[in-house]
Structure 1
Amino acid sequence: MMEATGLLSAGESTTAMAYIKARRGISPRQMKAILLVCMLAIGIPIGAWVSGSWLDALVSVEFAFVGLGLGLLIIQRLAGTSLRKALAERGQAYEQVLTFRLTPETLVYDLGDLTMAARWPCVTDLYQTRKYWVFLVQSSAMVLPRRFFATPEAERDFIVAAMSRMTNAALARSPDAARFVRR
């Protein structure tokens, strides 16, 4: 049995889970780029039509982007504070100990008072983001922060052990893990 343990902040795994969408189609970065291009494609011509000046339209759209950026920054700042407050009101800790355990039969995700276990045939993918390993378990995700490993060798050993338990089909859908192990 192998395990990795560390502190997980509330909402932290949401970042890693955004990339699940990328594995199923369009990535978060692609979505943002599409939205920005659409804002430009619509905003500039309509602004020019309304104001009668392409320059005025460009300036207006630029300020709209600045406003959008400021709004996103404010939302990001407020979200963390409001999440901590909401958790405190419910008597829950913002950070909890997460233990990821590999047994011969199951992948175990033990977070505070919550324990989830998945039999290895249910694990469909294993992929790496910059800060996390994500185990797709049917349509859910179990997120393992890479910082839980003291050394790159410990991380590699853990991923090798996980891969040794995965099905061939899941291994075929896990090129990130295969590349990581070959390094």
Structure 2
Amino acid sequence: MAYIKARRGLSPRQTMLILVICMCALGVSVGAWTSGSWLVAVLPVEFAIVGLMVGGLIVRLASAPLMRRALTERGQTYEQQLTLRLTPEAIVYDLADLTTIARWSCVTDLYLTRKYWVFLVQSSAMVLPRRFFATREHERNFIAQAMSLMPSAAQDRSPDAAKVLKT
């Protein structure tokens, strides 16, 4: 999801970097001002950064099990059936009981992450796992069909898809 968020603005990594820089700049400056020593001010800020990184790791590790439990409590399964269809007019994204239809004019780009193809549709993402394709040739044919239906501006913003088509 970090890749998707980065396409829409700041990614979680960029946000974390901004926070760490602000912690360092403010923490060291205020610490040096109050203690009278730069050396004394640096040590607590270093520990705060380590604490922030450990906290981020704990949040990352705890998120998936907590989400699974929350969905189970609401009577939903974590894994749901996904179907993505390309029609001449739109992308049809069926995820269990939810259907999203996006006209091609709304597609801003198509890009590749490590495990997914992502259609960015205005500010929403339609995520398609790469494991859905039986072979690389099936994947290439799907990407070729999608690119042929996308607006030219969206094609220009989709270098990952263009690269797959060249190989």
- TM-score above 0.5, yes or no: yes
Conserved in 2, the CA contact under 8 Å of 1:16 and 1:143? no
2: CA distance, partners of 1:77 / 1:136: 27
Which residue does the alignment assign to 1:6? none
The yes-or-no answer on 1:105 pairing with 2:89 is yes
Q: Report the CA distance between 1:16 and its aligned residue.
A: 4.3
Which residue does the alignment assign to 2:46? 62
Which residue does the alignment assign to 1:52? 36
- TM-score normalised by L of structure 2: 0.86
Which amino acid is 1:113 matched to?
D
2: CA distance, partners of 1:77 / 1:30: 20
The yes-or-no answer on 1:130 pairing with 2:114 is yes
Which residue does the alignment assign to 2:104? 120
Gaps of 5+ in 1: 1-13
Which residue does the alignment assign to 2:15? 31
2: CA distance, partners of 1:100 / 1:21: 22
Gaps of 5+ in 2: none
Which residue does the alignment assign to 1:174? 158
Structure 1 counterpart SS, 2:93: strand
Structure 2 counterpart SS, 1:99: strand
Which residue does the alignment assign to 2:76? 92
Instruction: Report the CA distance shift for 1:147/1:56 in structure 2 as closer, same or farther (over 3 A).
Output: farther
2: CA distance, partners of 1:95 / 1:15: 20
Which amino acid is 2:106 matched to?
C
1: CA distance, partners of 2:40 / 2:136: 54
Which residue does the alignment assign to 2:145? 161
Q: Which has the higher contact order (CA 8 A, sep 6+)?
A: 1
Conserved in 2, the CA contact under 8 Å of 1:131 and 1:145? yes
2: CA distance, partners of 1:151 / 1:53: 62
1: CA distance, partners of 2:90 / 2:29: 57
Higher strand share: 1
Which amino acid is 1:168 matched to?
S
- TM-score normalised by L of structure 1: 0.80
* Matched pairs, number: 167
Which residue does the alignment assign to 1:140? 124
2: CA distance, partners of 1:166 / 1:77: 37
Q: Report the CA distance between 1:109 and its aligned residue.
A: 0.8
